Amino acid sequence: MKEHLLALKEEALEVLEKVATPKELADLRVKYSGKKGALTEILRGMGKLSAEERPVVGQVANEVREAIEEVVNRKQDEFTKAETNERLQAEKIDVTLPGRALPQGGLHPLNKVIEQIEDIFTGMGYRVAEGPQAETDYYNFEALNLPKNHPARDMQDSFYLTEDLLMRTHTSPVQIRAMEAMKGETPIKVICPGTVFRRDDDDATHSFQFHQIEGLVIGKDIRMSDLKGTLLQFAREMFGESTEIRLRPSFFPFTEPSAEVDVTFVKKNGERVWIEILGCGMVHPKVLEMGGFDPEVYSGFAFGMGVERIAILKYGIDDIRHFYNSDLSFLKQFARQ
């Protein structure tokens, strides 16, 4: 039996060394050292051996099993390493190649204009003030010299939520809130950006929802010339150093005197024209009183502009609805600017 074991060992080691595939190795392992393999078959004859022979044969059998397992394990490691190397070669990445840049978004053109306007006025010493979009009738109208049944309310057809609550029609309520917060202390220099709502039919120049930026200055000896100088500085920073402005008399319930402001604008054909961009005026005495200021001591000016109108002029856009329809081919133009 000892000779049979040694012969089996020699045969197994020779065959295992020539194995070419993992499957072939697995089959030979079962053939030689499995439960029904050649080694097991030989050891079934142990019962016929004498008591002196059994330990000797048992030791040889263990040596044969260990020798076969050692070769099997070594060959298995070789196959595993070869497979890993093959996968690494097939899946390798050239780390010297440039990375693929992820697409980046950009600011919406209206947000770009709002930020630019804010930068201009904060550079003049203004601070940004905000207020609620759902506003009371008092702040939206009455505190701005627009009592109930005032005919000027017809110009601002409104979305009412309750009898006394509506979606604000302008950002002027923020001016009143800013005045109240100062409790009669000056100076006040604020701009009030935000979304406003009016019952307009949507077309190329109107929308039921749009954006305004209003400004308010209150102090002693504030004059119309201060207002004009401020707006001229703004226009030139926004549209270019050659821009001129003109003020035309107008009417607003919350300012007196009041004016519409036009800027010079060059059309595509080179023609230089005047285009209206905002309204302004000296703060009405009643508005000063409602805000907690004595009109005999203090004066101020206010102005308000539509962000969409500024953006249309700045970027040469022909339809306000482009700002709202989420057309990426339109919006991507401004991501690069």
Annotated binding site for Mg(2+), which residues?
Answer: 256
Tokens read off for 291: 């805000």
End-to-end Cα separation, the chain, in angstroms: 91
Burial class (CB in 10 A: 0-12, 13-18, 19+), 270: exposed
CA distances for 231 relative to 110, 117, 162, 207, 225, angstroms: 20, 12, 37, 25, 10
CB atoms closer than 10 angstroms to residue 140: 25
Residues 20, 61 contacting (CB under 8 angstroms)? no
Tokens read off for 64: 């044969």
Annotated binding site, which residues?
Answer: 256
Q: Where are the beta strands (DSSP E) in 131-203?
A: 134-136, 159-160, 165-167, 188-197
For residue 324, give the nearest of 209, 234, 184 by alpha carbon. Answer: 209
| Sequence-distant (≥ 6) Cβ neighbours of residue 131 within 8 angstroms | 139, 168, 171, 173, 174, 177, 192, 194
Greatest CA separation for the chain: 131
